[in-house]
Structure 1
C-alpha cells in the first residue's frame, strides 16, 4: 500500500477551534468591564516592592482610606479629585491604579504631570516601568514600536499616556480627558496656577473628564482655611472636604486624626524627655475616653474608619448623618498618623517633630524650614510659621489699671461672666471675668481661698457653691446683679486633686448647678467643667472628653459621666497675651481694676501675668523656675470657658439670652428677690435636715465650719 506524502503532512496540521475564534470575535464587540478604580486594584493590582517592601496582591486593608479617592475617579458627579497627604501615605498609588484600570477596562488618553523633567523621569523609571512589567495584561497592550514605549510616552492598544514636566508650554499645548498632577505644590507657579492651566485642557470632554491632583500641603500659608489660597489646599478648600474618622480601640468612639475634625485624636508624647524616649513613648490620645493608644492599633482602627464630608456629621458610635454637600471637587485629606507606610510609625513622627521644634528653639540655622518640612511632608499638615514672641511688661499692665473700675462690680458693656479656679497645695485661686461685645473683657474678681484641695470634699463644695451663688452688682445702681454663666476649674496637680475635682463635679451635678447648656460648635457647653491642659503644640484648641468612659463596643449605652475640657494651653496663652496687649478699649481689650495693684510695686498679680514667655517653637514656659504664674493660668481658663460658649462667633446682633443686654439678660436678677428666693430654699432644706436629725447623729464639723466662715468672709463684698 502506497502512502501519499501530502496526506501524511496534512494529518500533522492543527486547526483552530472555530468556536474559540467566534467567541473571541464576539468578545471584541462587548463593552468594557464596568469596574471602578478601587475594585480594579483589589482584583488586578500587583505590588512588587522587593528589597523590604510589600510584594503581592493589592489589599485595601493596608490603607482603606485610599478606596474612596479611587472610587471618585470614575464618578460622574465630580470633575476633580484632590488628595492632600504626606509622603509615604499611598496617595501616588491612586494615580497608578487609575492608569492600569484605564488601560485594561476603560481606555481614555491620559496626561501625567510632575514638577520637573528630572522628577518625571525618575517616576517613570522607578514606578511606572516596573508596574507595567508586573502586569501581563497591561504589558500585552503596550505598543511594540520603540516610539510606543519611551520615557515620556506610552502607547497602548486603545489609548496613550504621556508623562511631562508641569511647565507652562506643556500645560497649554496638550489635551486629554484624564489628567494626573503629582505633587502639585512643587510645580512651577511663575506663569500661572498649574491646576488651572491643566484643567482647561480637558474641559471639552465635560463630565467624561477628570483631574487627579495630589500633593503635600506646601503652599498653604497656615492651618486656617482662609489661608488655603494656593496649591492642593486651595482645591481642598473648595471641595466637599472629606475627613477620616476611626474608632478608639478602648471605647470604640469615633474621632479624627485630622485637626479639623469634630473630635480630634492627637499624638501625645513627653515634650521634655530625651528624643529616644519621645519616640518610644509617643501615643495617640482618644478625645472621648482619654486613653493612650499604641501604634500597633492603627491598622485595625483604619480598617474600621470612614470618610465624613462637608454637610455630614459622625456620632461617637460611628453613625454618619446629613447629606454630603455637592461640589465639583472631591477632596480627601490624609494625615501622617493615618499612614501604615511611615517608617517607625507614630514614634518617628513624634521624634522628628520634637527634634525640629527644639532646633527652632535653639535658633539653629534653617531650623524653621526643617520644621516646615516635617509638618508638611511627614505629618501632612499645613505649616503655621512660628509667631514672634510677644512682649508684655508687668509695669505697663499695672499702669493701665483703671481707678474707675471696682472689683466685685459688673461694668457697663459686660454681657456674661466666666470664672476660673486654679488649684494650689493649700488654696484655691479664683478669677472672675466679664465679657462684652467682640471679646472686650473686664476682670471683676480675684481672690485666694485657703483650702485643702487634695483631701477635703467640703472645701471643694464650699468653693463651688460660693461661685454658683455669687451675685455681682451692676454698676447702674438698679439693684440688679449678674450671675456667673460658666465655671472652669483645674483638675490636675498633686495626688488626690483629680479625684476630688471629679467628685465635686458629680455633687454639683446632683445639685443641678452643673448643667448642660446646649451644644455649641459640636461640643457640650457645661456650666461647670473640670479642665486639663494638653501640652502638645499641635493639640486642638478644645476637646470635650469623658475620661471615665467604660464603653467597650459601639452599641453600649454607658459612658463616663464626668466631662473634662482638654484644651491647648499654648494656643490659649497666645490668645491671652494678644488680648492683654490691646491697650485701647474695644474688641479683645482686657480692662484691669486698680484694686488689682499692690499698695507699692512690685504688683504680684501683674507679675504673674508675664511670668511666662512664648518660645519660637510655640510653647509657653516660665521666665524663671520660681516665677508664679497662677494669674496667667486663670486668664487662660476664663478664655477656655468663654470659647466653650462660642465667644469668637457670638452673634452679638441677636445673642442668646445669657449674653443679651442687661434688660433682657437671663443671668441678670434683682438682688433682693434672688436673696429672698435662696433664703426660702435654704429654709425648706433646713427643715428637712432637722426632721432627719432625730435618727441621724450630726458629724463633727468644727474644722469645716471654720473654713466655711473664712470662705464667707473672703467672698463677702
Structure 2
C-alpha cells in the first residue's frame, strides 16, 4: 500500500472488477455464432434488423422507398458475380445500400467486411453521422457490437463473429488483408491509382478484387458513385448493338459499368404497356418559361404512346418493380432480326457473359430528387453558359443530379462544324459519278502502314467541289513480292517494305468517272500521294515518282508533304527539298509543299458552306459515317489543328487538304472561267474527258478492293440515259 501511495495511486483509483459471469452465460452468448449463414436476402435483413432516419425520426427500413436498390443490394450475395457496380446520381440512396449490405453481413453471414471512403476525413464523418446513429437506433444490430473499449472506433467496428473495417484509398488499406466484402463508396472521387508515382500498385477497384480472393465465390466488391470523369469521344453514340453502353470516359466507375451487364431501370407504361427508361431527356417542359416555373410543370413522356406522367406518379411507377412490372433489364448476348441486342433480366441464361453486375440509374428516377429541381438546375446552368460562358454548373448537373457522363462543352465551340451537320446537309448524288458542273477531277492518297486511303474530288468553277469516291487499297499488285500465299490469298500492302506495292496506285490514273446526265466522263488531271508514311516509304515513294516521270507522267503524279503552323508565307509551293534530314544530302526530287493549317482553315470553311457557290465543298449522301467523322476530326488550337478528344482517324481531312493543294497548284484560283485551260473545260473538249460510248471499263486496271467495274458501267449507262438534273440537296431535318 505504501508503494502504491508513493506512485501517486490509491485504492479508490482502481476501477471495479466486472460482474461475475457464469460459463453458461458465455456459452449462450457464443452459440448463435455457430449457426450457419441465414438464408435471407440483403433487403429482407435490412427490413428485419435496420432502422433508418426519416426526417427527424427513425423507422424501420422500407424497400418501397427506393425499390430500384433491391436488386443491386441482393445480388452482392450471388456466387455468379465478383463485383456489383452502381452508377447513379446523388439523392438515390446509394450510401444506404452499402449500409444494408454491411448489416446483412453482421446479422446473417458473419465475415470480414471493409468499407473504403474517398478520404480519411470523409470516412470519419460517415461513421459519426451515418453508421454510429444507425447502430444506436437498430437494437438487434447494437446488441451484436462488442463492449470492449476498442470495439467501436472510427476505423473499426467489432461485432460478434465479424469485423467491419472503415478505411480510405491508400495502398496499405487494400493490401495484405482478406475480406469477404469490400465496399467502395464515391469511387470516382478516389485517387484512381494507388501507390507511389514511380511504382503504382493499381486502382482501388483492382486491389479490392484481390482482397476477396480467399473467399472465392462468396467474395464480392461493391462500388457506387456518381460519374465524375469527362467523355473522351465526342462522336460516340449508343447503337442497337450496345443500347445500354455509356460513353467512353477518361477513368472511373463508368469504365467498370461498361465491362459489366449494363443494367438500366425501366418503367412499364400504364397506358400502352411498353417498357421505357425514365430519363431526363424524356421530361417535357416549356423552355421559354422561367426555370422554376418550367420545372414545376415538367412531365415524363412515354416514348411509345406519348402518355404523360407528373412528378406525383414517380414513386408509384418506381414501386411497380415490387409487383413484377418493369425493373432492371441488362444486355443479353443474342441479337434479333432487326439488329437489336436483346434485353434480359439478371437471372436470364442469355445474360451478357461477365462477372460484373453493373447498374446505371438516371436522376429522373431517383427517389429523393424532384423533376422540378432537376429542370430548374439544368436551365439555370444553361443560362450561366449563355451569359458567362461558364460550364462548371452544367457539368455538376450532369454528374451529380442526372448521373450521366458529361462531355465538357468548353470543347464544343459554338457554330463548330460537326459530322451531324454534314449528314443533314448532304447532297444526293450517285457514288462514283461526277455532277454535271464538274470541270476536272483530282485524286488524293494518304499512305498508312497497311493500306492506301484514297479520295476522289470533282471540281467545278470557282473552286466548288464534291467528293465522288472514297475507298482504301489494301492488297498489293500481283507482281509484288509475296503478293499471294499458297492459298491464293493477298497479303496486306506494306509500302514501307515493298517498293512494288506502290504500283497498286497505277489504276487511279485510268479511272473514268461518268458525268451526271452526260455521255462522257472524266479521269484525274492530278494525283497527290503523301510523301510521309511508314518507315521506308519515302525512299519507295521517290522510286515510284521517278518511274512515273520516266514514263512522261510527271505532270500527273505529285508527292505531297505537309508543313504545319500558320507562319508559312505561301499556301502551296512545288520545289525540291532545301536539305535532307539528319545532315543527309537533299533529295533531287520535287515535292508539293502544303501549309496544312492554312489549307485546313479553307477546307473547314468550305465544308461549312452548304449552299451552291464559290469555294464550297459538298458532302455526298452515300459517304459512310466513319468517313464523315474523319472530315471534322480536328479542331483549331493556338498552335495549329489537333485531333478532337477520342478521335484517332483524320484521313478524310488530310485528303481534302491534298485535293485543295493540287487544285491550287493547277491554278484553280487564277482560271478565267470564260476561257479556261483545256484541263478545266466543261465538255468533251476537256483534255481528260472520255467518251463513255467508246470507253471499255474492262480496260481499267482494277485494284483488288474496287469492285467498281460493273458499278462504273451501270453508273455510266444511267448517267447517259437520264437528263441533267443538277445537284439535289437533301431536305434539312
TM-score range, shorter chain: 0.5 to 0.7
Cα displacement (A) at 1:438: 8.2
Decide which of 394, 398, 405 is 1:382's aligned counterpart. 405
Cα displacement (A) at 1:197: 2.7
Q: Residues 48 and 134 of structure 1 are in contact (CA less than 8 Å); yes or no, is this contact kept in structure 2? A: no
- Are 1:406 and 2:430 an aligned pair? no
Q: Residues 514 and 716 of structure 2 are in contact (CA less than 8 Å); yes or no, is this contact kept in structure 1? A: no
Cα displacement (A) at 1:43: 3.7
Taking a change above 3 Å as real, the CA distance of residues 296 and 70 of structure 1, as seen in their structure-2 partners, is same
Cα displacement (A) at 1:385: 0.2
Q: Residues 245 and 254 of structure 1 are in contact (CA less than 8 Å); yes or no, is this contact kept in structure 2? A: yes
Decide which of 330, 334, 344 is 2:357's aligned counterpart. 330
**In the alignment, which residue of structure 2 is the partner of 1:234?**
255
Cα displacement (A) at 1:155: 0.4
- Are 1:369 and 2:396 an aligned pair? no
Cα displacement (A) at 1:90: 1.0
Q: Residues 268 and 284 of structure 1 are in contact (CA less than 8 Å); yes or no, is this contact kept in structure 2? A: yes
Residue correspondence of structure 1 range 589-604 to structure 2 within 5 A: 596-597=612-613
Cα displacement (A) at 1:178: 1.2
| CA distance in 2 between partners of 1:57 and 1:646 (Å) | 58
**In the alignment, which residue of structure 2 is the partner of 1:142?**
145
- Are 1:267 and 2:292 an aligned pair? no
Q: Residues 399 and 405 of structure 2 are in contact (CA less than 8 Å); yes or no, is this contact kept in structure 1? A: yes
Q: Residues 63 and 340 of structure 1 are in contact (CA less than 8 Å); yes or no, is this contact kept in structure 2? A: yes
Decide which of 354, 358, 383 is 1:358's aligned counterpart. 383
TM-score in terms of structure 2 length:
0.52
Residue correspondence of structure 1 range 285-434 to structure 2 within 5 A: 285-302=301-318, 303=320, 304-311=325-332, 323-342=350-369, 345-363=370-388, 367-386=390-409, 387-389=411-413, 405-406=435-436
| CA distance in 2 between partners of 1:666 and 1:242 (Å) | 51
Moved more, 370-379 or 307-316: 307-316
**In the alignment, which residue of structure 2 is the partner of 1:419?**
none
Cα displacement (A) at 1:96: 0.5
Cα displacement (A) at 1:437: 5.1
**In the alignment, which residue of structure 2 is the partner of 1:247?**
268
Q: Residues 255 and 316 of structure 1 are in contact (CA less than 8 Å); yes or no, is this contact kept in structure 2? A: no
Decide which of 191, 215, 220 is 2:225's aligned counterpart. 215
Residue correspondence of structure 1 range 97-116 to structure 2 within 5 A: 97-116=100-119
Cα displacement (A) at 1:217: 0.6
Cα displacement (A) at 1:94: 1.4
State the number of aligned residues.
447
What does the per-residue CA deviation read over 1:657-697, in whole Å, with 9 as the maximum and x for residues that have no partner?
xx99694699979769999xxxxxxxxxxxxxxxxxxxxxx
3-state SS of paired residue (2:77): coil
What does the per-residue CA deviation read over 1:509-546, in whole Å, with 9 as the maximum and x for residues that have no partner?
xxxxxxxxxxxxxxxxxxxxxxxxxxxxxxxxxxxxxx
| CA distance in 1 between partners of 2:42 and 2:34 (Å) | 23
Residue correspondence of structure 1 range 52-71 to structure 2 within 5 A: 55-71=58-74
Moved more, 118-127 or 35-44: 35-44
| CA distance in 1 between partners of 2:144 and 2:519 (Å) | 89
Taking a change above 3 Å as real, the CA distance of residues 145 and 25 of structure 1, as seen in their structure-2 partners, is closer
- Are 1:182 and 2:206 an aligned pair? no
**In the alignment, which residue of structure 2 is the partner of 1:41?**
46
- Are 1:172 and 2:205 an aligned pair? no
Cα displacement (A) at 1:103: 0.7
3-state SS of paired residue (2:328): strand
**In the alignment, which residue of structure 2 is the partner of 1:153?**
156
**In the alignment, which residue of structure 1 is the partner of 2:299?**
283
Q: Residues 242 and 309 of structure 1 are in contact (CA less than 8 Å); yes or no, is this contact kept in structure 2? A: yes
Moved more, 354-363 or 102-111: 354-363
Decide which of 169, 191, 215 is 1:205's aligned counterpart. 215
Q: Residues 262 and 360 of structure 2 are in contact (CA less than 8 Å); yes or no, is this contact kept in structure 1? A: yes
Taking a change above 3 Å as real, the CA distance of residues 26 and 348 of structure 1, as seen in their structure-2 partners, is closer
| CA distance in 2 between partners of 1:112 and 1:50 (Å) | 26
Gaps of 5+ in 1: 1-15, 260-264, 414-432, 440-472, 481-579, 610-630, 650-658, 676-711
Cα displacement (A) at 1:41: 2.5
| CA distance in 2 between partners of 1:581 and 1:290 (Å) | 45
Taking a change above 3 Å as real, the CA distance of residues 674 and 337 of structure 1, as seen in their structure-2 partners, is farther
Q: Residues 254 and 316 of structure 1 are in contact (CA less than 8 Å); yes or no, is this contact kept in structure 2? A: no
Q: Residues 253 and 317 of structure 1 are in contact (CA less than 8 Å); yes or no, is this contact kept in structure 2? A: no
Taking a change above 3 Å as real, the CA distance of residues 29 and 646 of structure 1, as seen in their structure-2 partners, is farther
Cα displacement (A) at 1:169: 2.9
Taking a change above 3 Å as real, the CA distance of residues 23 and 227 of structure 1, as seen in their structure-2 partners, is closer
Cα displacement (A) at 1:325: 1.1
| CA distance in 1 between partners of 2:341 and 2:306 (Å) | 14
Greater radius of gyration (CA): 2
Q: Residues 82 and 235 of structure 1 are in contact (CA less than 8 Å); yes or no, is this contact kept in structure 2? A: yes
Residue correspondence of structure 1 range 455-604 to structure 2 within 5 A: 475=515, 596-597=612-613
Cα displacement (A) at 1:318: 9.4
Q: Residues 330 and 344 of structure 2 are in contact (CA less than 8 Å); yes or no, is this contact kept in structure 1? A: no
Cα displacement (A) at 1:120: 0.8
**In the alignment, which residue of structure 2 is the partner of 1:426?**
none
Cα displacement (A) at 1:193: 2.0
| CA distance in 1 between partners of 2:380 and 2:328 (Å) | 32
| CA distance in 2 between partners of 1:644 and 1:84 (Å) | 30
Q: Residues 78 and 328 of structure 1 are in contact (CA less than 8 Å); yes or no, is this contact kept in structure 2? A: yes
| CA distance in 2 between partners of 1:227 and 1:646 (Å) | 20
Q: Residues 127 and 154 of structure 2 are in contact (CA less than 8 Å); yes or no, is this contact kept in structure 1? A: yes
Cα displacement (A) at 1:196: 2.1
Gaps of 5+ in 2: 1-21, 195-201, 237-245, 444-465, 473-512, 521-598, 631-705, 729-733
What does the per-residue CA deviation read over 1:597-646, in whole Å, with 9 as the maximum and x for residues that have no partner?
38xxxx9xx8xx9xxxxxxxxxxxxxxxxxxxxx9xxx9xx98x999999
Taking a change above 3 Å as real, the CA distance of residues 280 and 592 of structure 1, as seen in their structure-2 partners, is closer
Q: Residues 217 and 381 of structure 1 are in contact (CA less than 8 Å); yes or no, is this contact kept in structure 2? A: yes
| CA distance in 2 between partners of 1:133 and 1:142 (Å) | 10
3-state SS of paired residue (1:181): strand
Cα displacement (A) at 1:157: 0.6
Cα displacement (A) at 1:213: 0.8
| CA distance in 2 between partners of 1:646 and 1:256 (Å) | 32
What does the per-residue CA deviation read over 1:465-518, in whole Å, with 9 as the maximum and x for residues that have no partner?
xxxxxxxx96377989xxxxxxxxxxxxxxxxxxxxxxxxxxxxxxxxxxxxxx
TM-score in terms of structure 1 length:
0.53
What does the per-residue CA deviation read over 1:193-243, in whole Å, with 9 as the maximum and x for residues that have no partner?
222233223323322211111111112435855633421112112111111
| CA distance in 1 between partners of 2:257 and 2:715 (Å) | 45
What does the per-residue CA deviation read over 1:540-588, in whole Å, with 9 as the maximum and x for residues that have no partner?
xxxxxxxxxxxxxxxxxxxxxxxxxxxxxxxxxxxxxxxx989669xx9
Taking a change above 3 Å as real, the CA distance of residues 359 and 76 of structure 1, as seen in their structure-2 partners, is same
Q: Residues 262 and 331 of structure 2 are in contact (CA less than 8 Å); yes or no, is this contact kept in structure 1? A: yes
Residue correspondence of structure 1 range 68-107 to structure 2 within 5 A: 68-107=71-110
